[in-house]
Amino acid sequence: MKTNSPKTSIRAKIRWGMIGAFALLIIAGCYDVPVYANRLIDKVNNSAHLGFPRLPEKNFNLGLDLQGGAHLVYQTNVENVKITDRATAVEGVRDVIERRVNAFGVSEPVVQTTKVGSDYRIIVELPGVTDVKKAIQMIGETPILEFKEENTEPARQLTVEEKKQLNDYNIEAKKKAEKAIKELKSGKDFAEVARTYSEDDVSKNNGGYLNYISQNSQYFTLFDTVSKMQSGEVSAKPFESTEGYDILKRGAERDGAQEVSAKHILICYLGAKNCDSPEYTKEKAKVKADELYKQASAANFPDLAKLNSTDLGSKESGGDLGYFQKGMMTKSFEDAVFAAKVGQIIGPIETEFGYHIIYKTDERISKEYEVWRIVVKTKTEADILPPQDQWKSTGLSGKQLEKSEVTNNPQTGSVEVSLQFDSEGKDLFKAITTRNVNKPVAIFLDGEPISVPNVREPILDGRAVISGAFSIQEAKTLSQRLNAGALPVPVELISQQNVGATLGADSLNKSLFAGLVGILIVMVFMVVYYRLPGLLAAFALVLYGALTLAVTKLIGATLTLSGIAGFIMSLGMAVDANVLIFERMKEELRLGKSLKAATEEGFLRAWPSIRDSNLSTLITCVMLIWFGTSFVQGFAITLSIGVLMSMFTAITITRTMVRFIVPWFKEKGNWMFLGHKKEELL
Amino acid sequence: MKVNFIGHRKINLFMSLSLFVVAVVALLIFGLKPGNDFTGGSSLEIKFTKDAPATEQIKEILVPLNFGNISAQTAGDGGVILKMRFINETEHQQMLTKLRENFEKGDLKVLEERFETVGPAISTQLRTRSLYAVVAVLLAIIAYIAYSFRRVSKPVASWKYGTVAVIALLHDVTITAGVFAFLGHYLGVEVDVPFVVALLTILGYSVNDTIVVFDRIRENIIRRSCDNFADTVNQAINETFARSINTTATTLFTLFAMFFFGGDTIKWFVMALLVGIFLGAYSSIFVASPLLVEWNNWQNRKRT
C-alpha cells in the first residue's frame, strides 16, 4: 500500500482526530479543575525536576445560591427629584452604596442600577457575605454629609475602679476561651463549641464558619495567624486579636487575587491631601521628585525614603508598604504599581497625596483560607471611654446644602467643587467660618472625612468651594456624592434573598453528587444497550461534560443551582444525538449493509433529526435568557451551551471514534454492534 | 416484532382525554398555588441545632408580631420554613430576635439558613415577565413548527401536522400543570418562576419528540408511497420507538438523580420537568400520531 493512497490518508486523518479528542479532553479537564492538575504537575516537578509551569487557578463563578450571600434590590424614592436630575441622583446613591459595600470587604460585590418602567432600582449582590444584617444596615442609610470643626476639649482618664473592672472582665474572658479549648481538645465538634462559646453573631450563628478569608477582607487581622496554620489545624491556645481571644480552625486553601509589595517615597505639596506640613509648591515638588527618581536605585531606596519621604507612616521603614491588592491603594498609584515589573523603580506618579517614586519589590498570588472561629470578646479602654474625637459636630449638615457643582477657578483654572447652602445653612456657615479662621474645617461623608480645607476668611454668602488636587472625574464624583447626601433620595429594600454559606455549600455538594449519579447511570445504560458504540458514546459524554464546563467557565457565566440543573439535564439530552445515530446504524445494518456503510449512512441520515430536535430547545433557551431573572438565566445558559456542545461531540467526536474502530471488525460487524444479525430484529 | 400502536388508538386517546379533563377540572377547582415570586411575600428557612419545636408553637409565638397568616412547615433535619406576607428588614430582625429569645436555650440555637422576601413591585414585574415569556415561547414554537412542516405532503396537509403537534404540546403542559394543582392542594406545593421555566422547557423539549416521529412519517410516505396512512404512521412509530424511549429514558435518569439527590431547593422544579418530559415522549406516540390518523380518516369519510 502506498502511503499517499486516499485510504491511508483518511485513516491518518481519523487517527489525528482521535488524538485531538483525547487532547481536548485533557485540556478541558485541566481547565475545569486546575487544582488537581496542578497537584499532578507539582508531583512531576518534584520527582523529575522538569519545571512545568503551574496552571492559573481560575475558579467557577458561583452564584449566590451556591456560595452563600445576599441579593438585595432597593427601590429609590425619586418623587421629590426633578425628572431630569433623577438618573444622576440615582447614580450618586449607587456610588455611595458601592463605597459602603467596598468598605465591608466582600469579594467581587456587584452594585448596579436598573430602570423598570419609571422606577429606578439598585441591585446589590454580596457573594459570601456572612453578616447580612450589618450589610443591610450600612447600605440602608441615606448618605450623611456633615461639617465638623476641631475638637479642643482635653480627654478624660480612666478611674481606678474602671481599670479594675476592665481587668476583671478580661481575665474572665481568658478563662472562658481556655475552657473552650479544653472542650475542643476533649474531642467536641468545633461548630458545637462555637455555638456555645463564641460571642460574635456571625461565628456563633454559623457554627464558627467564616468562609474563605483574604488579607483584604474584614477578617484581615486573623489572616497572618491563619496563614501559618495547617489545613484542619485548630489553635492550641487562644491568641489575642483586636477583638478578644480567638480560637481558629483552618480549612482549605485557595488562590485569591494578585498582590504586590512596594516601597515608595512621597513628596507632598501645598494643597495635596493629608499634607500636614508642606515644604514644596506643586512645581517644586515635581522637580524634587524627578531628582529623586534619577538618584534612586534598589540599594539606596530605603535611605532615600528615610531622608525625603513625607509619608510619615512608611518613612521609618524605608518606604515599605508591604503587600497589597487591588482596591487597597488610590487608583493611579495602584495602576502604576501593578503595571510595573518586579524590581523596577518608577516615578514620579501623581496622586491626590502628591508625587510618588515607587520601587516594586515583589508580586505574587495571594492566598485565601477557609476559617472557623470562636471569639471571646475582651474590652479595651476605648470600650469604657470612647477615644477622644479629633472633630466635633457643628450642626451644619447635608440638610442645609442646597446644591453642589463642579466649577473651575477663574484664576488658576483648577477644578473645584462649589457648595451652596440654604438660608439656615448660610447663617451657620458664617458662624463656623468666623470662629475657625486659619483653622481646618472637615467635611465628612458617611463618617469619613472627604476634604479638610483651611478657612482663610469668614464666609458670609453661604457659598463655599472645596479646592484641592482634584481631577475632573474626582470632582464630579465628590459633587455627585454631596448632591446625593443633600438630596432626599431614600432607598427602600423591596426584595432580598439570603443564602447561608453552609446551605450554599450543601446545595453545591448535593447537586454535584446528583450530576455524578446521573452521568454514571446514563453511561451504564448506553454501554448495556448499544454495546461497543455505546462505550464510545459514554466516552464522548465525559468529553461533553468537560467541554461544557470549560465553556461555561471561559465565558464567565455564573454557575447557579438552576444552572447545574440545566447542565445535568443536558447530560441526559446530550446522548440523544448518539441514540439517533445508533438507531439509524442499527437499521442500516439490518438492511444488510456493511458496517462501514451503515456507519456513514447512520450519521448522515440522523443529522436532520438531530438539528431539528436541538433547535426547538435552543429557541426556548434564547427566550428564557431574555426573560432575565438569575434563576432562569442560569438554567437557560448552561442548557444552551450543553445543547450546542452535545451536537459537536456527537457529530464529530463519536463519529471519529466509530470510524476509528470500524476497520477492526469484519465486514458485518459482530455481537458488539446492535443489529448485526437479522434475527435480532424480532 | 411490530407493535400495533395505531390499532389501539381509541383506548389511548380516550385515556389522554380523561387525564386532560381531570387536569383541567383540577386547575379550575383547586387552581395553582402561587408562590412568593408572584404574590409577593417572605420565606424564612431556619434550622434548630437540636430538636425543633412543633410548628404550631412557633406560629403561636410569632402571632403578636402581626405578620398576618404565617405558614410553617418542617424541612429536613431540624429545619423549618416559615412563609408570610412581605416583611421589611426591621420586621425580619424582629422575627429572628423573637425566635431566638423563645427557643434558644443552652446548646439549642436558631440558625438562619435562607431568607427571601419579594415586594409587590418585584412580584408584579415577575408576573408580567412570566406571561410575556410564555406567550413569546409559544409563538416561537408555533413558528418553528410551521417552518418544520412547510413542505406540503400528501395525504395530510402540512398545517395539520403543525396543529396536531400544538395539541400534543397543550396536552403535555396542561397535564403537568394539573399535577401541580393536585400537589398544591394536597401538599401545599407552590408555583414559582422555576415552575414557569420548567413548563417552557417542556414546550421546547416535547415538540422535538413529535417532530422526529412526524419527520419519519413523511420520509416513509415519500419512500414507500402511501397506500394506507394508518399503516405508514404505525411503521414510523415502530421505527422511532426505540429512539424516543431511550432518549427520554436517559433524560429521565438524570432528572431522577437530581430529584433524589439534588436537595430540596430544586426538587419541585425537577418534578415538573420529570412529568412534562415523560408526557412529551408519551404524547408524540400515543396522542399526536393517532390524532393525525383520526383526522385523516374523518376527512376521508366526509369525502365519500
**B98-151 confidence digits (pLDDT tens):** 888 888 887 788 888 888 888 888 888 888 888 888 888 888 888 888 887 776
Residue of A nearest to B100 (CA): A205
pLDDT at res. A332: 84
Pair (B70, B177) in one structural domain: no
Pair (A533, A669) in one structural domain: yes
Contact between B194 and A561 using a beta-carbon 8 Å cutoff: no
**B148 → closest Cβ in A195, A612, A618:** A612
Q: With respect to residue B2, please indicate whether it lies within any of the assigned structural domains.
A: no
- When pLDDT is averaged across residues A516-532 and rounded to a whole number, the result is 91
Q: Is A494 helix (H, G, I), strand (E, B) or coil?
A: strand
Residue of B nearest to A620 (CA): B204
Q: With respect to residue A127, please indicate whether it lies within any of the assigned structural domains.
A: no
Pair (B99, B216) in one structural domain: no
Pair (B113, B256) in one structural domain: no
Contacts of A502 in chain B (CB under 8 A): 113
Pair (A583, A515) in one structural domain: yes
Q: With respect to residue B1, please indicate whether it lies within any of the assigned structural domains.
A: no
Q: Is B238 helix (H, G, I), strand (E, B) or coil?
A: helix
Pair (A425, A297) in one structural domain: no
Q: With respect to residue A552, please indicate whether it lies within any of the assigned structural domains.
A: yes
- DSSP secondary-structure letter at A231? T
Residue of B nearest to A681 (CA): B1
Contact between A522 and B211 using a beta-carbon 8 Å cutoff: no
Pair (A506, A571) in one structural domain: yes
For residue A523, how far is the Cα from the chain centroid? 36
- Tell me which of A428, A452, A472 is where a domain ends: A472
Q: With respect to residue A193, please indicate whether it lies within any of the assigned structural domains.
A: no
| pLDDT tens digits, A197-211 | 888 877 777 778 887
Nearest to A256 by CA among A289, A284, A217: A217
Contact between A514 and B261 using a beta-carbon 8 Å cutoff: yes
Residue of A nearest to B247 (CA): A576
Contact between A583 and B109 using a beta-carbon 8 Å cutoff: no
Pair (B19, B54) in one structural domain: no
- When pLDDT is averaged across residues A606-623 and rounded to a whole number, the result is 82
Contacts of A624 in chain B (CB under 8 A): 133, 137, 197, 200-201
Contact between A496 and B246 using a beta-carbon 8 Å cutoff: no
- Tell me which of B99, B118, B137 is where a domain ends: B118
Q: With respect to residue A210, please indicate whether it lies within any of the assigned structural domains.
A: no
Q: With respect to residue B4, please indicate whether it lies within any of the assigned structural domains.
A: no
Interface test with B, best of A123, A530, A583, A623 (most B CBs within 10 A): A623
Contact between A133 and B204 using a beta-carbon 8 Å cutoff: no
Torsion sign across C-alpha atoms B181, B185, B188, B190: positive
Pair (B185, B223) in one structural domain: yes
Contact between A496 and B89 using a beta-carbon 8 Å cutoff: yes
- Tell me which of B83, B118, B153 is where a domain ends: B118
Domain span at residue A333 reads 258-364
* Cβ neighbours of residue A669 closer than 8 Å, sequence gap 6 or more: A589, A595, A598, A676
Count the neighbouring beta carbons within 10 Å of the beta carbon of residue A160.
Answer: 8
- Position A140 pLDDT exceeds 70: no
Total structural domains within chain B: 2
pLDDT at res. A668: 67
Contacts of B270 in chain A (CB under 8 A): 565
Q: With respect to residue A80, please indicate whether it lies within any of the assigned structural domains.
A: no
pLDDT at res. B30: 92
Pair (B106, B137) in one structural domain: no
Q: Mean pLDDT over all residues of chain B? A: 86
Contacts of B200 in chain A (CB under 8 A): 620, 623-624
Least confident of A146-150, A321-325, A675-679, B34-38: A675-679
Pair (A655, A512) in one structural domain: yes
Contact between B208 and A629 using a beta-carbon 8 Å cutoff: no
CATH number at residue A311: 3.10.50.40
Pair (B150, B294) in one structural domain: yes
Alpha carbon of A71: minimum distance to chain B alpha carbons (Å): 9
- When pLDDT is averaged across residues A174-181 and rounded to a whole number, the result is 87
Interface test with B, best of A67, A183, A503, A605 (most B CBs within 10 A): A503
Q: With respect to residue B221, please indicate whether it lies within any of the assigned structural domains.
A: yes
Pair (B164, B253) in one structural domain: yes
| pLDDT tens digits, A315-350 | 888 888 888 887 778 888 888 888 888 888 887 888
Contact between B265 and A65 using a beta-carbon 8 Å cutoff: yes
Residue of A nearest to B209 (CA): A613
Contact between A620 and B121 using a beta-carbon 8 Å cutoff: no
Give strand ranges (E) for A336-421: 345-351, 354-377, 391-397, 401-408, 415-421
- Tell me which of B84, B100, B118 is where a domain ends: B118
The answer to whether the CB of B202 falls within 8 A of the CB of A573 is no
**B258 → closest Cβ in A195, A565, A626:** A565
**A580 → closest Cβ in B193, B194, B243:** B243
Pair (A527, A675) in one structural domain: yes
What the block records as the C-alpha cell of A227 is: 496563614
Domain span at residue B99 reads 41-118
Report d(CA A636, CA A624) in Å as an integer: 6
CATH number at residue B214: 1.20.1640.10
Pair (B95, B212) in one structural domain: no
Q: Mean pLDDT over all residues of chain A? A: 81
| pLDDT tens digits, A435-466 | 888 888 888 766 777 677 778 788 888 887 77
- Position A485 pLDDT exceeds 60: no
Q: With respect to residue A11, please indicate whether it lies within any of the assigned structural domains.
A: yes
Total structural domains within chain A: 4
Q: With respect to residue A374, please indicate whether it lies within any of the assigned structural domains.
A: no
A462 — alpha (psi -120 to 50), left (phi > 0) or beta? left
Pair (B220, B289) in one structural domain: yes
| pLDDT tens digits, B195-239 | 988 998 888 888 888 888 888 888 888 777 657 888 888 888 988
- When pLDDT is averaged across residues A621-650 and rounded to a whole number, the result is 82
More confident residue, A516 or A78: A516
- Tell me which of A348, A364, A380 is where a domain ends: A364
| pLDDT tens digits, B15-52 | 999 999 999 999 999 999 888 888 888 989 888 887 78
Contacts of B212 in chain A (CB under 8 A): 580, 609, 612-613
At residue A145, what are phi and psi to the nearest 5 degrees? -105, 130
pLDDT at res. A681: 41
- When pLDDT is averaged across residues A77-98 and rounded to a whole number, the result is 79
Q: With respect to residue B45, please indicate whether it lies within any of the assigned structural domains.
A: yes
Pair (B90, B196) in one structural domain: no
- H runs (alpha helix) in B116-228: 120-148, 158-187, 193-224
Interface test with B, best of A78, A520, A616 (most B CBs within 10 A): A616
Contacts of B263 in chain A (CB under 8 A): 506-507, 510-511, 514, 561
Q: With respect to residue A559, please indicate whether it lies within any of the assigned structural domains.
A: yes
Least confident of A110-119, A273-282, B81-90, B244-253: A273-282
Write down the pTM of the prediction. 0.68
Pair (B154, B108) in one structural domain: no
CATH number at residue B109: 3.30.70.3400
Pair (A420, A534) in one structural domain: no
Share of residues in chain A with pLDDT > 70 (%): 91
Alpha carbon of B126: minimum distance to chain A alpha carbons (Å): 9
